[in-house]
Amino acid sequence: MKRPLPMPPNHVDPLLAGASLGLVVIGAVVVGSASISLADRDIGEPLYYLLRHLGAVGIGCAGAFIVAAVPTDVWYRLNGFVLLACVVLLVLVLVPGLGQTVNGSARWLGLGPVRFQASEPARLLLLTYVASYAVRHQADLLTSFWGFLKPMFIVALVCALLLAEPDFGAAVVVTLTSLGILFVAGARLRDFVLALIIAASAFGALAVNSAYRLERLTAFLNPWSDPFASGFQLTQSLIAIGRGEWFGVGLGEGVQKLFYLPEAHTDFVFAVLTEELGFVGASFVVLLFAFIVYRAMAMGQQAIREGMEFQGLLSTGIGLMLGIQALINIGVNTGLLPTKGLTLPLVSYGRSSTVVTLVALGMLMRVHRELSAVQQVTAKRRPKQ
C-alpha cells in the first residue's frame, strides 16, 4: 500500500463539504418542524428533539475534524483492532444490563448519561476492516473463492449479531456495502454473483420465516388493504408526499406530522420534508445525496489509480454505505420498499447516525487531502511538454 505524502493542512473538498453542510442544514430545519408538536405534547419542550439533534451535529463535526487529522494508514494498520471493536460493540448490546431495549429492539448501549446505537459505529468499523482485508489479501481475492469467502464469513457473523437485536435494515446495508467493496477490489464476477444470490436468499428466508417481517412485507405490497393497522405508516407517508405536490404546503405547515404519521422526525422525515417543500425540495435532497455518493465513488477510483488502494476502497465503502441507506429510507417513505427502520443520514433525527455519518464524511475529507497531495507530486514529476 502506498502511503500518502505530506499535504497542506487546510486542503478540503469544497463541493463535498458544501453538499454535506446542505444536508445538515436541511436536516436541522426539517427535524425541528417534524418534532415540535410531538415534543411539546410528550415532553412539554417544543425544541427538545431539535436541540438534541444539534448537539449530535456538534459532536459529529468535532469527530469529523479529529478523524480528518488522522492519516488513513492508521486505520489500515489497526485493522484487527477495528474488527474487534465492531464485534465487541454488537456483543455488548446483547448483554443484559448493558444493552437497552427500545421499541422491542436491543440496539442501544448506555455509558452513564450517554446512550448510542451500537450498530452505527459498528457498520463504519466493518467496512474499514473489509477495505483493509481486500488490500492485504488482494492476490487471494483475485484468484480464489476462498479469498472472497473469508471476509464474507466475518460479515455473516456481524449480520447474525445485528439480526439478534434485531436490526434487519442494518444487516442489509452491511452486506451490500461489503459486497460492493470486494467487487471494486477485484473479486471475480462469479464469486460476487454467487455471494449476492446466497445473501438475497438468506434475507428472503428470514423475512418469510418471521411473522413480524412478513407482516411488514405484505403491508408494503398493499398498504391500503389495512390502512389503520399494518399499512398505517405507509399510507400516512404517501398522503404526506401527495400533499406536497410541486412546491409543498410551506415549511412548518405540514399536517401529517401532527400525530398522524408515526416516527415523523426519524424514519419518515422524508415524507414530512416532501409535504412541506414539495417535489422540488425532495429532489434537491436526493441530488445532494447523489452528489456525495458520486464524489466518494469517483474519489475512490482516483485513489486506486494512484496506488492508494485502501484509501480508494474506504472512500468507495463510505459512498456505498451512505447511498444504500439513503436509498432504502427514501424507498420506504415512497412505498417502493418495505419498512426497515433506517434513518435518512444527516436529515433524520437519530443522534448516533448523525455523529457516525459526520465522522465518515471526515474520513472522506482525509482521503481527499491525501489523494490531492499524491496527485500534486505526480504532476510535478511528469515531464514538461
| Rounded Cα–Cα distance for residues 292 and 13 (Å) | 11
pLDDT on residue 4: 45
Q: Is residue 1 part of a domain?
A: no
**Residue 341 structural domain:** 14-375
Angle between helix axes 309-333 and 119-136 (nearest 10 degrees) is 140
pLDDT on residue 285: 97
Nine-digit cell at 190?
462469479
Which residues have CB under 8 Å from 5's CB, separation 6+? Answer: 370, 373, 374, 377
Q: Is residue 153 part of a domain?
A: yes
What domain count does the chain have? Answer: 1
Q: Is residue 5 part of a domain?
A: no
Q: Is residue 2 part of a domain?
A: no
pLDDT on residue 1: 47
Q: Is residue 327 part of a domain?
A: yes
Contact indicator for 50, 35 with CB cutoff of 8 Å? yes
Q: Enter the pTM of the model.
A: 0.92
- Spell out, as residue ranges, where the chain has pLDDT lower than 70: 1-10, 103-104, 111-113, 207, 210-220, 228-230, 382-385
Beta-strand ranges (E) seen in the chain are 99-102, 105-111, 114-117
Which residues have CB under 8 Å from 240's CB, separation 6+? Answer: 254, 255, 256, 257, 261, 268, 271, 272, 274, 275
Please give the DSSP secondary-structure letter assigned to residue 44: S
Q: Give residue-wise pLDDT tens across range 202-213.
A: 887 876 776 666
pLDDT on residue 288: 98
Q: Is residue 384 part of a domain?
A: no
Q: Is residue 382 part of a domain?
A: no
Q: Is residue 74 part of a domain?
A: yes
> Grid coordinates 445525496 are at which residue?
289
pLDDT on residue 112: 66
pLDDT on residue 42: 86
pLDDT on residue 10: 54
pLDDT on residue 83: 96
